[in-house]
């Protein structure tokens, strides 16, 4: 799944010389948690609501309200923003965006083109939506996890069993994590199974069925 299909294209930006008070007000009004920072239209950084909160004086400050507002109005975004932020292009995958966010403990990535021009922004929330869509949970609440041998043809055999019971596969993901050496785990969401108990018995007879679950969604 590509970043360009899940990113927000309508991006509000701020210039480097905008005060943190104005940036905070803008975030609150628009319901944003991140603002790309630009200089003459070119991306130079990104500022988060956490950056702005950390820049505010402590509640224990002896400043009166007028002094506090004066200070916040003078402090510029460029002083608290993350400079040279990590970015992705719209033609990269949401999985790569997720890896970058996890690796660098960040919650959003500006999306840029080959020239470095800002095209959008993708957040953890956008990645979550993409992953949920990829999982197929809304179309198939039933998920099976089967341990299979790591060799050609193993997945096909599981598919044949499910189809023999009328099942239609909505999504399929394999992983080597938590699986014994020489094996992998196959996560399948399927629907339209005629007799689920008969399917489970058939799978357990031919493979190692790790679990089966019906996700109840409100």
Burial class (CB in 10 A: 0-12, 13-18, 19+), 102: exposed
Selected from 3.50.30.30, 3.10.580.10, 3.40.190.10, 3.40.50.300, the CATH number assigned to the domain covering 3-132 reads: 3.10.580.10
pLDDT interval class at 75 (50, 70, 90)? confident
Q: Taking the model in full, what pTM does it have?
A: 0.82
- The answer to whether residues 12 and 108 touch, using CB atoms and an 8 Å cutoff, is no
| Fold entry, domain 136-214 | Alpha-Beta Plaits (3.30.70)
Could you give the 3-state DSSP secondary structure of residue 75?
coil
Average pLDDT (29-57) is: 85
Q: Where are the domains of the chain?
A: 3-132, 136-214
- Region for residue 61 given its phi and psi (left: phi exceeds 0; alpha: psi -120 to 50; beta: otherwise): beta
> What is the model's pLDDT at position 116?
84
pLDDT digits (tens, 9 = 90+) for 11-28: 999 999 998 888 888 988
pLDDT of the residue at 65:
55
pLDDT 10s digits, 108-132: 999 999 888 899 999 999 999 999 9
> Closest by alpha carbon to 125, among 116, 133, 117?
133
What's the pLDDT score for residue 60? Answer: 42
């Amino acid at each position: 799944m590509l970043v360009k299909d899940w990113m927000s294209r309508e991006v509000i930006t701020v210039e480097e010389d905008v005060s943190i008070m104005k940036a905070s007000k803008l975030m609150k009004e628009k319901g944003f948690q991140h603002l790309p920072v630009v200089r003459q239209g070119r991306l130079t950084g990104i500022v988060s609501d956490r950056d702005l909160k950390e820049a505010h004086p402590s509640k224990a400050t002896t400043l009166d309200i007028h002094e506090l507002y004066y200070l916040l109005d003078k402090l510029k975004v460029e002083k608290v923003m993350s400079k040279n932020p990590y970015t992705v292009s719209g033609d990269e995958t949401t999985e790569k965006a997720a890896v970058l966010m996890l690796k660098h403990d960040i919650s959003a990535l500006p999306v840029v083109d080959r020239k470095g021009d800002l095209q959008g922004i993708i957040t953890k929330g956008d990645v979550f939506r993409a992953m949920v869509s990829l999982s197929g949970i809304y179309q198939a609440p039933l998920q099976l996890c089967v341990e299979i041998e790591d060799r050609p043809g193993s997945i096909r055999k599981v598919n044949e069993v499910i189809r023999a019971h009328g099942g239609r596969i909505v999504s399929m993901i394999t992983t080597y994590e938590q699986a014994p050496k020489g094996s992998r785990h196959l996560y399948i969401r399927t629907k339209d199974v005629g007799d689920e108990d008969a399917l489970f018995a058939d799978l357990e007879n031919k493979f190692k069925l790790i679990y089966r679950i019906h996700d109840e969604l409100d």
